Amino acid sequence: MILTETLSKQFPTRKGQPPVLAVDGLSLEVGEGEVFGFLGPNGAGKTTTVRMLASLIAPSAGRAIVNGFEVGRQDQHIRACVGILTETPGMYDRLSADKNLSIFASLYGVQDVRGQVEKYLRILGLWERRFDEVGRFSKGMRQKLAIARALLHEPKVLFLDEPTSGLDPEAAKLVRDFVEELKAQGTTIFLCTHNLDEAERLCQRIAIFKTRLITVDTPAALRQRLFGRRVVFHLKEMQPGLLALLQALPFVKDARAIDNKLLAALDDPEQHNPLIVRQLVEAGAAIQFVGEMRHSLEDVYLQMINHGGAA
């Protein structure tokens, strides 16, 4: 659904200063119906990437195909089949929610403008407030209205740039739940976010990006790639010799003792845990719990951004 090949964007600056490279050689592929997370720090070039993919700005180099149309050559076709929620979605504050949506539905060439406007106002819980001026809406309501605006023409691809940024937890949850619904309906979603929990919950794959693409994979695979799988054995008390026993096992890649816990890095915990438990019990250990140690996506993200992925 989205394909980029060495996509780059550089912005000119004032005379005498070098141009700013915002996106450098981005190559990625997003499948139809996929929810794709695009993570990166402020100023990483996420919004620039979204703007290029939505045909709002032209790439400096490389190419991008969205829904079969090429960015820079078939921009109007792309704009007609994508929806975009910008980071700061502006509205016509003096106009009603209904009027705001009607204008955009008409510009997108929606056949049944009234029907679509009603559908999305109802879905997003704004139907009762449809004739109110948008200027009186709360931030959460504005965000919901902006999402409705991005969806009026039933786009094949939806770009969401920080959809829950600045929202209170309740409004953020409403937005996330709605994205879950869209995901269930098979809409391709390109989600730029700082919220790692949100990315993990919603996205099938995640790209970590800082001007260049650092990595792209599923959240689970990223964790495993960086930190492997670690199992923690909680003991009643640590006894001498248990750590050495663990280190001596051939399938244990790394072992450490912290207080009354033993940590083991394993490739296949399902296969090796029973063997380790048996060995430890035979050596006199009293095992209270065994569990897998999960690294958060935040650990992965920080590791990737700060050290380029070297754990």
Partner 1 sequence: MNASRVRIIIDKEWAEVFKNRSVAYTMIFVPLIMTLLPLGVLFMLRSLGGTGGDTTDVPANFAAICQDLPGLDCLQIYITNQFLLLFLLMPTSIPVAIAAYSIVGEKTTRSLEPLLATPVTTAELLLGKSLAAVLPAILATWVCFAIFCLALLPIGVSQAVVAHIVSPLWLTAILLVGPLMAVMAVVTAIIISSRVSDPRAAEQLAMVVIVPVLGVMFAQIGGLFVLNAQFVWVSALVILGVDVLMVYLATRLFRRETILTQWK
Residues 6+ apart with CB under 8 A from 249: 272, 275, 276, 279
User: Whose Cβ is closer to partner 1: residue 10's or residue 204's?
Assistant: 10
User: Whose Cβ is closer to partner 1: residue 56's or residue 243's?
Assistant: 56
Local structure of 256: helix, strand or coil: strand
Q: In angstroms, what is the minimal distance from the CB of 136 to partner 1?
A: 13
Q: In angstroms, what is the minimal distance from the CB of 255 to partner 1?
A: 52
Q: In angstroms, what is the minimal distance from the CB of 73 to partner 1?
A: 15
User: Whose Cβ is closer to partner 1: residue 50's or residue 255's?
Assistant: 50
Q: In angstroms, what is the minimal distance from the CB of 153 to partner 1?
A: 9
Q: In angstroms, what is the minimal distance from the CB of 83 to partner 1?
A: 8
- Closest to 54 in 3D by CA, of 213, 161, 149: 161
User: Whose Cβ is closer to partner 1: residue 84's or residue 222's?
Assistant: 84
Q: In angstroms, what is the minimal distance from the CB of 75 to partner 1?
A: 9
CA distance 55 to 70: 9
Neighbours of 195 (CB within 10 A): 19
Say if residues 35 and 204 touch (Cβ distance below 8 Å). Answer: yes
User: Whose Cβ is closer to partner 1: residue 21's or residue 56's?
Assistant: 56
Q: In angstroms, what is the minimal distance from the CB of 232 to partner 1?
A: 48
Q: In angstroms, what is the minimal distance from the CB of 19 to partner 1?
A: 12
User: Whose Cβ is closer to partner 1: residue 107's or residue 302's?
Assistant: 107
User: Whose Cβ is closer to partner 1: residue 143's or residue 303's?
Assistant: 143
Give the burial string for 135-164 (b: 16+ CB within 10 Å, else e).
Answer: eebeebbbbbbbbbbbbbbebbbbbbbbbb
Say if residues 177 and 170 touch (Cβ distance below 8 Å). Answer: no
Q: Which two tokens stand for residue 285?
A: 């250990």
Local structure of 31: helix, strand or coil: coil
Say if residues 232 and 197 touch (Cβ distance below 8 Å). Answer: no
User: Whose Cβ is closer to partner 1: residue 86's or residue 204's?
Assistant: 86
Residues lying near partner 1 in the complex (CB under 8 A): 11, 48, 51, 54, 56-58, 76, 79-80, 82, 84, 86, 88-95, 99, 103-104, 106-109, 146, 149-150
Q: Name 252's bridge partners.
A: 266
Helix or strand holding residue 298 (H, E): helix 297-307
Give the burial string for 107-126 (b: 16+ CB within 10 Å, else e).
Answer: ebebeebeebbebbbeebeb
